[in-house]
Structure 1
Amino acid sequence: MASRTFTPMLRQSLRLSTRPIQRRFLNTETAPSLYAARAHVVGARTGHVDGESLKVDLTMAKSLGGPGDANKTNPEELFAAGYGACFQSAMNAVAPTLGVKMPSTPHDSVVESTVHLVGSMKDLDMGLRVELLVRVKGLEQSKLEEVVHKARLVCPYSRATKGNVYTTVRCETM
């Protein structure tokens, strides 16, 4: 199993590579809305969320001093789920543009995302750190890295967090 971690220094070296960089200029303020998700939140981290097709009860994680109730979730877990799903969709979308065929069996392409709440609750100085582990069966390591590199350029979550959330992506072939 091959593995490699993309860190900020490596990201910089990738920018200097011979790969053509596709610049996108999307003005998110004026761009047409393709889809809008809404959530109605009551009770903050120990409350409830209602959406069009979402009903979720929230709990404060035990590690943050809360009860960590079973069958309930928290904002970081929801963010991890959204980022992982969005990133994997971006990989599937960019792969054909690179001449890469992604596996057709769902378990042969996996994104494991970890979202860390970091900082100091006492000082109310908190932020997020994200780790993505991308595991794909049947691709050469270099092809997987190409797909991941381009996915980072087009994934809405990656674009939204760039420069604001420290993110590492590790690639492994299965």
Structure 2
Amino acid sequence: MTNVNTAQATTTHLYTAHASVAGGRNGHGRTDDGRLDVTLSRPGAMGGEGAGTNPEQLFAVGYGACFEGALTLVARRQRVQLGETHIDSAVELHSVDDGTFRIEVALDVSMAGVDNDELAVALVREAHQVCPYSNALRGNVDVALTANGVWVAGPRD
């Protein structure tokens, strides 16, 4: 992978993660540095044993961590103190009647140091523009966002 020039921006490579998976949902996954080494198991709700983790859980943790990093960057740029920040992430797996599958995501962002709802919403909205996971999913995956309990964006039930 190389640097990419677009009409508006130039990207610079920062990091590449490497992992190996064998056995799919009932297998094993490991990063090349050994820091992540997991047994994978189909969830009980999908007829599996649920003895390990699953791709949706890993995605939920990864997206939550990445989004919090983007939020921290946005807050620092605006000189806003977030206080203790917590992100509850949910990744839903759906089957589609054409035989395919899709995911939906919800991120509930809590920022203890931000008591202004408008500011909280603006920070989460901007973090959603900065976050690489959000950018990868945009237009492909429904992502619902809340900031300190206030609706920000995404589909509503």
Shorter-chain-normalised TM-score: which range? 0.7 to 0.9
Within-5 A mapping of 1:1-174: 25-26=8-9, 31-51=11-31, 52=33, 53-69=35-51, 72-103=52-83, 108-120=84-96, 123-139=98-114, 140-172=116-148
Q: CA 1:75–1:168 in structure 2 vs 1: closer, same or farther (change >3 Å)?
A: same
The answer to whether the Cα contact below 8 Å between 1:87 and 1:157 also exists between their aligned partners in 2 is yes
Q: Deviations over 1:54-91 (max 9, x none)?
A: 1110000011111111xx10000000000000000100
Structure with the bigger RCO (C-alpha within 8 Å, sep 6+) is 1
Identity over the aligned pairs, expressed in percent? 36
Separation in 2, partners of 1:97, 1:82: 23
Separation in 2, partners of 1:96, 1:49: 35
Paired residues in the alignment total 140
Separation in 2, partners of 1:124, 1:58: 23
The answer to whether the Cα contact below 8 Å between 1:100 and 1:143 also exists between their aligned partners in 2 is no
Q: Note the C-alpha offset of 1:123.
A: 4.8
Separation in 2, partners of 1:145, 1:102: 13
The answer to whether the Cα contact below 8 Å between 2:21 and 2:27 also exists between their aligned partners in 1 is yes
The amino acid of 1:42's aligned partner reads A
Q: Note the C-alpha offset of 1:135.
A: 0.9
C-alpha RMSD of the superposition: 1.7
TM-score, length of structure 1 as denominator length: 0.75
Separation in 2, partners of 1:144, 1:73: 32
Q: Deviations over 1:1-28 (max 9, x none)?
A: xxxxxxxxxxxxxxxxxxxxxxx9456x
Q: Note the C-alpha offset of 1:99.
A: 2.9
The answer to whether the Cα contact below 8 Å between 2:86 and 2:110 also exists between their aligned partners in 1 is yes
Structure 1, gaps ≥5 residues long = 1-23
Separation in 2, partners of 1:111, 1:60: 25
Structure 2, gaps ≥5 residues long = 1-6, 150-157
Where 1:100 maps in the other structure, the secondary structure is coil
The answer to whether the Cα contact below 8 Å between 2:117 and 2:148 also exists between their aligned partners in 1 is yes
